Amino acid sequence: MEIVDELPPAAHEYPENVLALERAYLAADHAALVEVVEQKIRLDFMTWCHASDLTFKGFTPEEYKRVTLLAFQQMAEKYGVVTVDIKDQVARLKPGCFVVHHMAKHFFEEQGVVDPYADESFLQELEALSPYYVGRYLPEITPEEFAARIQ
């Protein structure tokens, strides 16, 4: 028999002020994690694609979308808004096209944090930064509308 079993039931209860301190500590720790991730993305936006699932597991959907948008904005600062004429095979070989293709694929196919189609306004923000590659994943669009968007 362990000594813990011999304690009165009141000894197992946390006072509310202790629970409040713990919640405040956990909230501050989480906010610091989000800030560290944002700083890493500002230094190298591709870290967003390579962050572990453990890093993003505790993120709220809004936090994840915020760092995703930050990564796409950083990509657009480096390479510009990526629009590609689908007939121009050479343009599709530029580094910015490869990078944004990888980022769009990661967001729409690989990440398991948020439903990529759940927030239409967020998708519009991403599409503004990469009409061609994000536009390829958008639902309910005719080939003509898609071609008009990327040119």
- From 130, 139, 45, 135, select the one nearest 82 (Cα to Cα): 130
CA dist list (Å): 102 to 1, 33, 54, 130, 133: 57, 24, 20, 12, 9
Mean pLDDT lowest for which of 11-15, 87-91, 109-113? 87-91
| Mean pLDDT for the stretch of residues 7-17 | 79
CA dist list (Å): 99 to 2, 26, 102, 123, 132: 58, 35, 5, 18, 13
Beta-carbon neighbour count of residue 55 at 10 Å? 18
How many whole angstroms from its chain centre is CA 124? Answer: 15
What pLDDT, in 10s, does the model give residues 31-87?
998 999 999 999 999 888 877 656 787 889 999 999 999 999 999 999 888 776 656
Give the pLDDT band (50/70/90) at residue 89: low
| Mean pLDDT for the stretch of residues 126-145 | 79
How many whole angstroms from its chain centre is CA 17? Answer: 34
